[in-house]
Structures are given as structure tokens and as C-alpha cells.
Amino acid sequence: MVLKQAPSAVLLVLSSLSIQAEAAAPSTGAINLLSSAALQATVLQEAYIKSDNSDPFDHFGRALAISGNTLVVGAYFEDSNGTGVDSPLNGIGAQTSGAAYVFVRVGGVWTQEAYLKASNTESEDRFGAAVAISGDTIVVGATWEASASTGPLADQNDNSAPNAGAAYVFQRTGTTWTQEAYLKASNPGSGDQFGTSVAIHNDRILIGASSEDSSATGINGD
């Protein structure tokens, strides 16, 4: 996938669950990059981006984030059973396991740089429901991941807490992405949906768990 851009000073990134020219693949999803030249009110579409393995109902664009010339896009209903970085694109053995895609702009041209899957891909994990990027680090949330293990060294193969959620950290060296960490809450519980939202700033990562059930208040409660 190669997409040319117009010169720009301001870049807006919008997601869409429609496709540009026809409707033969419902809810595959797309990204529209809009640019506005400095000191001009005109906004132009800079690029129209689809994943390299678009399939109906992938919901590519469910989440997105941009840092400099790197764009990361989540497709939380993608169905491949691949694991890790750049696994085969044509697998469909894990429904709504989810995926994330990395695009880079070099010399005015956008290309897909990486296809990210969890290291423990499972059906319905919804990897890609949230994404964040800072420089060469990406965080991806998987809100329905089911391990009951705790902390950053958790057991990835545990499936005893449905929808507890997890987050994954990927690091880029040169143009190569690798998974650096698999993150779980200190108190994972079924239905917590840890990974509903993610953010990163320098060496700090924030992860939301929108359905966690503790009645504690304030910071560092029970």
C-alpha cells in the first residue's frame, strides 16, 4: 500500500467505517488523513488508508493515534489467528481477536510498516480496541483478553477471567517492531476490560479499566 501526500503543516486523522468508492465490504473501516497548508483555510484529503488485509466487519479505525510521521490504527474485530509482528495476513481462525497496523510517511509517501497481533492471540480478545504511540513505542489495549494473571510478568496462556483485559507494548528499532511487554492489572477480574483506553508519555503508560468493580476511592485504595 502506497499513498501520496500533499505538502502540509497540519495533519488531521479521521476514521470511517465506510469505504471510499463502494460498499462491497461493509464495516472494513478506513482512515482519512486531512492536511491544511500553513496560513490557509483550505483542508484537503491527504491520503485514504486501508489495511493490507481488509475484510468485512474488521472495524479498521476503531482506534488511532499519531506521533510525528508514524500512525497506528486499531481494528478490534479483525479475525486472524496470527501472533506477534507481521504474521501471515490471511488467517481467519480467531474471530474478533483484533489487530493493529503501523503506517509511516517517508518522503511524502505513506506505507504500511507493520501488522501487529498479540503474542497470545485468542478469539474475542479485541486487541486494537485502544492504541497509543509516543516516538518508537506503541501501546495496544485488548479489552476482552481473559488471563487472570497479574502484573507485567503475567501468564499469557491463562484464560480464567473472561474480559479482564490486557495491554501490549511494542518497540521499534530502525524499522523493526517487536513486542516488549504484556501488561495486566494488579487486580484483574472478569469483565474489568483493562485496556479500554491507553496513553503513553515518555516512559509512563496509563491504562483504563472501564468496568473494574472496586469501591475504593482516591489513589492506592483497596
pLDDT at residue 8 in the model? 42
pLDDT at residue 121 in the model? 96
Rounded-to-10 torsion of CA 15, 16, 17, 21? -140
pLDDT 10s per residue in the chain (222 long)? 444 344 444 455 555 544 455 555 666 777 776 665 554 566 677 789 998 888 888 999 999 999 999 999 999 999 999 999 999 876 788 999 999 999 999 988 899 999 999 999 999 999 999 999 999 999 999 999 999 998 777 789 899 999 999 999 999 999 999 999 999 999 999 999 999 999 999 889 999 999 999 999 999 988
pLDDT at residue 28 in the model? 74
pTM of the model: 0.85
Q: How far apart are CA 11 and CA 219, in angstroms?
A: 37
pLDDT at residue 153 in the model? 73
pLDDT at residue 45 in the model? 72
For the sheet containing 30-36, what is the strand order?
A: 10-16, 30-36, 43-49
Taking CA atoms, 123 is separated from 35, 113, 145, 193, in Å, by 37, 25, 9, 15
Per DSSP, 45 falls in state E
Buried b (16+ CB within 10 A) or exposed e, 1-30: eebebeebeebebebeeebeeeeeeebbbb
pLDDT at residue 13 in the model? 58
pLDDT at residue 24 in the model? 56
Q: How far apart are CA 176 and CA 167, in angstroms?
A: 20
Taking CA atoms, 185 is separated from 144, 145, 154, 166, 193, in Å, by 13, 12, 9, 8, 10
